[in-house]
């Protein structure tokens, strides 16, 4: 059996600070956005995807200005999105002609106005969110499958641990009791170490310790935010609730 590339991605990413899965999906989304802006903006399927999604979600949309050479691509894609919105409004029974949109909405029934509002909802997810979910599911599945493999176990043990969301995701994938215990014991160790650093950080703010120099606990409060909520700038805002009932 060929070892999947995602296995090596995880092993190679564990030494970096932060949750490895967060870091990898953020990398993958950045690569996707770069590819779209510089190579796919004029492709009909790309424009159709953006039109159906009404553009990107807030989180991913505001990443676009970071691609300094991609402003023309952003304009082209979002022109298509605005055109889609206008077409929906103009073709709606609530506003049969463009010149009478405001007048018609003022006199139409609540039902017609609500129908128009519903038609303006995205019919496809934010494409960056969709890619993120796909890649996130893959990394969680691979980590669960190979958690007892030496390189995976050692990499995870020597990392900063997973964020809570991705720890939950991997835990749900594991069916073997001993492998589940292995995952939990390593993650608990990471959480306990972070809790100790938070306590040190808090104690350092006691007036009796103000003259003492802080060490690794200095940024523990930032790492705590990341361990519970995910690394900064990872999760989009149209993913929905992925929790299993």
Length of the chain equals: 245
pLDDT for residue 240 is more than 80: no
Number of domains observed in the structure of the chain: 1
For residue 171, tell me if it sits in a domain: no
- Residue 138 covered by a domain: no
pTM (2 d.p.): 0.83
Closest CA to 164 of 17, 11, 19: 19
pLDDT in tens, 51-89: 999 999 999 999 999 988 889 999 999 999 999 999 988
Q: Give yes or no for residue 245 having a pLDDT over 50.
A: no
| Residue 104, domain extent | 20-119
**In this structure, are residues 42 and 77 in contact, taking their beta carbons and an 8 Å threshold?**
no
| Helix segments in 54-176, DSSP class H | 58-61, 71-91, 101-107, 110-119, 127-146, 150-157, 164-173
User: Is residue 73 domain-resident?
Assistant: yes
- φ/ψ (deg, to 5) at 237: -110, 15
CA–CA separation, 87 and 75 (whole Å): 18
Domain membership flag for residue 11: no
| Domain membership flag for residue 135 | no
Q: Average pLDDT in the 88-110 region? A: 62
Indicate whether 56 belongs to any domain. yes
Residue 140 makes CB contacts below 8 A (sequence gap 6+) with 21, 166, 169, 170, 173
């Amino acid at each position: 059996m060929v070892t999947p590339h995602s296995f090596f991605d995880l092993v190679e990413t564990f030494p970096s600070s932060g949750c490895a899965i967060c870091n990898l999906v953020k990398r993958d989304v950045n690569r996707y956005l770069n590819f779209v802006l510089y190579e796919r903006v004029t492709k009909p399927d790309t424009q159709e995807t953006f039109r159906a999604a009404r553009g990107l979600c807030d989180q991913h949309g505001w990443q676009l200005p970071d691609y300094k050479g991609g402003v023309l691509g952003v304009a082209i894609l979002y022109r298509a999105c605005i055109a889609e919105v206008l077409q929906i409004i103009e073709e709606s029974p609530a506003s049969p002609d463009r010149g009478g949109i405001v007048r018609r909405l003022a006199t139409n029934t609540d039902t017609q106005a609500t129908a128009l509002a519903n038609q303006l909802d995205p019919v496809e997810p934010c494409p960056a969110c969709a890619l993120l979910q796909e890649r996130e599911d893959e990394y969680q599945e691979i980590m669960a499958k190979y958690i007892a493999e030496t390189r995976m176990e050692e990499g995870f043990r020597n990392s900063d641990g997973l964020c809570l969301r991705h720890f939950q995701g991997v835990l749900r994938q594991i069916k073997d009791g001993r492998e589940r215990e292995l995952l939990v014991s390593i993650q608990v160790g990471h959480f306990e170490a972070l809790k100790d650093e938070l306590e040190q950080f808090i104690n350092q703010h006691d007036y009796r310790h103000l003259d003492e120099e802080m060490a690794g606990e200095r940024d523990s409060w930032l790492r705590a935010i990341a361990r519970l909520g995910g690394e900064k700038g990872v999760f989009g805002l149209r993913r929905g609730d992925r929790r299993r009932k």
